[in-house]
Chains A and B, each alone.
Chain A
Amino acid sequence: MEWRGIAASSGIAMGPAFLLKEEKVDVQRYEVNDIEQEVKRFEEKVKQSISELEAIQQKAKEKLGEKEAQIFAAHILVLQDPEYIGAVKEKIQTESINAEAALKEITDQFITIFESMDNEYMRERAADIRDVSSRVLKRLAGIEEKSLEDFNEPVVLVAHDLTPSDTAQLDRDKVAGFATNIGGRTSHSAIMARSMEIPAVVGLKNILEGVEALDYLIVDGIEGVVYKNPTSTMIEQYAIKKKAYEAELAELAKLKAEPSITKDGHRVEVVANIGNPNDAKVAVANGAEGIGLFRTEFLYMGRTDLPSEEEQFEAYKQVAEMFAKENPIVIRSLDIGGDKELPYLDLPKEMNPFLGYRAIRLCLDRTDIFKTQLRAILRASVYGNIKLMYPMIASLQELREANKILAEVKQELDQQNIPYNKEMEVGMMIEIPAAAVIADQLAKEVDFFSIGTNDLIQYTMAADRMNERVSYLYQPFNPAVLRLINMVIQAAHKEGKWAGMCGEMAGTIPAIPILLGMGLDEFSMSASSVLKARSLIRKLNAAEMKLVAEKVLQMETAEEIVQYVEQEVLEKIK
């Protein structure tokens, strides 16, 4: 059996399926005769659950740090809570009922209290309690959790969807690949999979329903196909394909220390997009010449409160120190809101989160959060070639407002005699069509632009990139999009500034010749695309690509453009 989806992360993975599926326990209420035995059974399962949580806490501590592991300390305390656990035992005793029913009824009482509280953060704690109690319920029902540790070989994760924090916790040694029902090439799990170099196919629609635990799966992240229980001939063929893919990677690896330079000597930068210091390691290993986009929001996600200045400073400094002094590290200030929520900020739900209170809009309003981050970035700027970049700027006023706050923070640091790089470059993302249209004006007040194509395309085409029904409008090669991109690059150059691109498009093979021809100075992409992009750039001629770009800008459809580049450029250098 096979499923076709979207190739989200390249490579081939084979292994037994591991299903991430919520098992529902159906709780029946019945009378028990031996009450003491029932209380004892309950106590034992609680004890077992606590030791499981302790093991998870230990692992989280090693992988994510002390602070992140503390949430599990709270979960353990819930199972040690005299009022909660005591109330369950009392209910078993006074009503002579089974532990499952007593646990469920007491848990529901507490959940009602938390859910009725006027604070979203507290309402969310109801989910924690549900999570902890369902662990005990499952143990009472005799369901034992399979852990990734129980497998001798890496597994293929199969899930409806993977949240960013799920993906961040994936252990690359234990997970060969993953396959999900929903998602697209630009969904966060796909982006994370690429940066972690785990082969992945997403948007498979109903794979979770069609696979059972331990079914043998092949995930073809190159073609976007997943096969269940393939024949031995197929496994052999795929083993060969996997080897060929790895050989190609080895060939590309030779370009790691080489410059990204065209045949006629035009040099550009090929850098990587990252979410955390771990990704930066992968970027270095893949020969990135720096970081073109450090998505700082991952420092803020999957936790219970804001990261401190010190914590952020350490993360930025750590990334800067992984690269040579001259390599650029572009740090994007907080881009939260939209599809990336922070429960602890208690933001109201919006009708159109992508058009709402997010990114720079939130930062200009919550200057406390913004200033803490700016201080951390400035302080880290003495450790490398750090540059600051604002997301989602829509107008000149917003840019000036952000720069005003930056100036205030600099002044504070001066007063405290805290060193920072006074020459730190400050740029902005171009991801709103309004910003692209006034790029000539904006270029006078920034040091650089970075074009964020994922959002620029969705806003230009007015098509939600997460909505599968309008995904046909997500067209990087649409003439309207290409013209906007060209406008932005030319506007930057006219003012003597540089222009980069940090969207998925910068790493897309047919886009590279066009962007090179338009004069793009910096290409930022998933680490896994860096060497492929460099290899292509080294085969191209910049003067010729200028003509290609000019020609393409006159074409009428995305199909025509892609076909032209494939036939006239890519075929010829094969």
Chain B
Amino acid sequence: MVEKVFTVKNPTGLHARPATLLVQKASSFPCEITIVKGDKQVNAKSIMGIMSLGVRQGDEIKVVVNGENEDEALQAIGEILESEHE
């Protein structure tokens, strides 16, 4: 299991478009990916889960990955969270 804390840089937070990218990316990996914000944790492959976190720019997010290709998955998810593009 690997985990890391990222700061969301996207100016719109995790609105529909970045959330879509994140879920699409997460779903392309076979491992379990969990996103933790404060005391809430959700499945990174669930768009409803991600959006229900209401993540804004500047929020700190912990990503926990467990299973096959976990390092690669952690890096890919981190790139989306730290992307400054909309």
Q: Which residues of A contact B (CB under 8 A)?
A: 70-71, 73-74, 77-78, 80-84, 110, 113-114, 117-119, 121-122, 125, 128-129, 304-306, 308, 344
Contact = CB atoms under 8 A, between A and B. Distances in A.
Contact of B46 (A70, A83, A113, A344): A83
28 contacts: A70-B16, A70-B17, A71-B17, A73-B24, A74-B17, A74-B20, A77-B23, A77-B47, A78-B47, A80-B27, A81-B46, A81-B48, A83-B46, A83-B49, A84-B48, A114-B51, A117-B52, A119-B54, A122-B51, A128-B16, A129-B48, A304-B15, A304-B17, A305-B12, A305-B17, A305-B86, A344-B12, A344-B15
A26 to B, nearest CB: 25
Nearest to B10: A305
Interface residues of B, number: 21
A71 B16 contact: yes
B24 A110 contact: no
Contact of A110 (B16, B48, B54): B48
Interface in B32-46: 42-43, 45-46
A71 B16 CA distance: 7
B19 interface: yes
A110 B52 contact: yes
B48 A78 contact: yes
B80 to A, nearest CB: 14
Contacts of B42: 83
Contacts of A118: 54
Given A83-B42, A121-B15, A305-B12, A74 B47 contact: yes
Nearest to A79: B47
B39 to A, nearest CB: 15
Given A73-B24, A117-B54, A122-B51, A304 B16 contact: yes
Contacts of A306: 86
Determine which residue in B12, B42, B43, B46 has the highest number of CB atoms from chain A within 10 A of its CB, and name it. Answer: B46
A306 to B, nearest CB: 8
B46 A82 contact: yes
Contact of A308 (B15, B46, B86): B86
A114 B86 contact: no
